Chains A and B, each alone.
Chain A
């Protein structure tokens, strides 16, 4: 998995034997997973099956009780958490907006490490998610659900990650807004980003041309499961 891909020089995010037990229940049960740069993986499954938990473990925000996450074949434990998270971005379902304007939100990641992105860079990030530069000055608290989701995506991209983990990116969005997000996801993959999309919507995998995996009771299976 991770190591062999690394040897071929392909960027990969993988996991082996992930387990997570909570209150006597296996939320994750021996999950193996791998994705390469430029690919999209869809993880489907009913709510409570562990797919969001898997995403948080892949983002190193949650510690698995068994197994390990690898970035380019290197165990996540051997990488400083902040470095790992800049390389593997995570956008939760209905990502919370931070105080200030859209520009403040987009600049948040770089600012956390003392960098100050230029207005042009902020506009570039907004353009990546199909938002106009004029959006930058708007207060983040006044955005619609779809706009928030796209700003959250732009905010994650401002760190220039290699992989992007998206939890239900189209939840609570109308069809038009959802289509726009999916379109952006496809575009990002074409630009070389590896994307993992958790969704309960069975049409997304086909729409994204993604490899399909199904999660059930903490186990991950190829295809529709």
Chain B
């Protein structure tokens, strides 16, 4: 099967599509032209750089280089997830819970799959591990950001109710149960919706990529299913860890709701 390359000159042509968006923005007075241009340039530079980095990584395959790449990805995901939370007792302290939650989700979703399901040789083959880990970490990042934001916002809004439960003899876990449940459900919904509508609304990214690069759709579908199931696990685990750790931040050792 042939593979159609995109030459750089033609890639430049696609930039015109961004120009169309900028024109629409000016016409409708959205005042987004600057953001559109900056996002386009930044996205292009980031992706081109990543392209070269991946090439390097795949050329010199080594456990350490893979570990380094995964660490950088996890750290950036944790930093981004923590930064997006607006209602928190201490935003600077959010990095560590976010890191723990994203790491936990990543480990649970990736290790069994690369040990038992997708078994490349060598096992640290970046070509397999990096893209799939990227999807997991990015989902974990979104779930963690949503969970943290929602738990802290609702704990603040519903502080009287939480305190009333504590006064009735509730443990912090019981007092925060309703907020934790709502936050986790909301954070997991996009992942579950993705699973419900997969193939009906859009073909998922991984499968699309494989099909475009000439892989038999039957194989591509299997890979995609692996990824989708991993995404559910990563969402559940990362969200749950984030919720548990945010509860620890919300209550003192004397089981009092921290004022914030």
Residues in chain A within 8 A of chain B (CB atoms):
56, 59-63, 77, 81-82, 85-86, 89-92, 95-96, 98, 108-109, 112-113, 155-156, 159
Contacts and interface: CB of A to CB of B under 8 A. Distances in A.
Interface residues of B, number: 18
A61 B167 contact: yes
Contact of B168 (A60, A77, A85): A85
B164 A96 contact: yes
B122 interface: no
A82 B163 contact: no
A14 to B, nearest CB: 18
Interface stretch (B12-20, B169-177, B235-243): B169-177
A-B pairs, top 7 by smallest CB distance, nearest first, are A109-B168, A81-B255, A90-B167, A96-B161, A86-B169, A112-B170, A82-B169
B257 interface: yes
Nearest to B174: A112
B209 interface: no
Contacts of A96: 160-161, 164
Contacts of A113: 169
7 contacts: A56-B163, A81-B166, A82-B169, A92-B160, A92-B163, A108-B165, A112-B174
A170 B164 CA distance: 18
A89 B169 CA distance: 9
Nearest to A91: B167
A78 to B, nearest CB: 12
Contacts of B169: 82, 85-86, 109, 112-113, 159
B166 to A, nearest CB: 6
